[in-house]
Amino acid sequence: MTVSFGAHVDQTDPVAEAIARGASLSQFFLGDPQGWKTPTVGYEAGPDALKADAEAAGIDLYVHAPYVLNVVSTNNRVRIPSRQLLQKQITLATQIGAKGIVVHGGHVGNEDDLAVGFDNWRKCIDGLDITVPLLIENTAGGTGAMARQLERIDQLWSTIQSAAGVENVGFCLDTCHAHAGGIELTGLVDKVLAITGRIDLVHANDSRDEFDSGADRHANLGTGFCDPEGLAEVIATADAPIVLETPGAKTGHLDDVRWIADHVK
């Protein structure tokens, strides 16, 4: 099968990173993934040149929002800065011509009402100017997670439907996170589509940990605990671009591409 694929790469030159892997896309951060600073473009020539050079090379760009963002938190000192930083990320991702920006589903505290978290996502979307597809990603662990189990994803999607701009919100399916979150990979694509109506991106990752571990630790394809048949099925049937977030940089990614070629028909 022919599938658009690439990897999460260093932000300095995502175009060259894609070309080095024979890939058609790159995913990367805009600045520090663990910090709250205003996003920046690592490409030396700047954001407009990155957009032009990626288009000229036929490389699609995807942005991953910082890990620190939690737009559903009941803590104002986390939730409000998260929304503000996400807007800045969206604006810069638009400037570089990104095809989408991925953000984790977030979580509330164990003592918090889950419904408040789901509604905080609705309010977040309502308040954003979403000028590039915003892709909510399922997560691996956490009692108060918004997007760990299918039931939670269903609740989240039902809640955000009344938000202005929800048509610009999509879904990123991470296979390691699903496995670690206790969701079987076989049949998963149909189940997700029944909830969200769309899968915009797949993070194709194996897992270093066993099923329902709650641990977000990626492994190269075929080397971890993910069901290989289920993993191949997701890649084959999601009808979405594939991003590898696996160890080993270029060498590991090329091994993963060979695994896909051998297992996905």
Percent of the chain with pLDDT over 90: 98
Q: What is the CATH number of the domain that holds 233?
A: 3.20.20.150
Segments in 130-248 forming alpha helices (H)? 150-160, 175-180, 188-196, 228-237
Quote the pLDDT of residue 113.
96
pTM for the model: 0.97
pLDDT digits (tens, 9 = 90+) for 212-221: 999 999 999 9
pLDDT of residue 219: 98
Confidence of residue 1 (pLDDT cuts 50, 70, 90): low
Q: Which stretch of DSSP H or E encloses residue 219?
A: strand 218-219
pLDDT in tens, 143-199: 999 999 999 999 999 999 999 999 999 999 999 999 999 999 999 999 999 999 999
Average pLDDT, the chain: 97
Number of domains the chain contains: 1
Buried b (16+ CB within 10 A) or exposed e, 98-137: bbbbbbbbbbbeeebebeebbbbbbbbbeebebbbbbbbb
Give 69-84 pLDDT, tens digit per residue: 999 999 999 999 999 9
Range of the domain at 82: 5-263
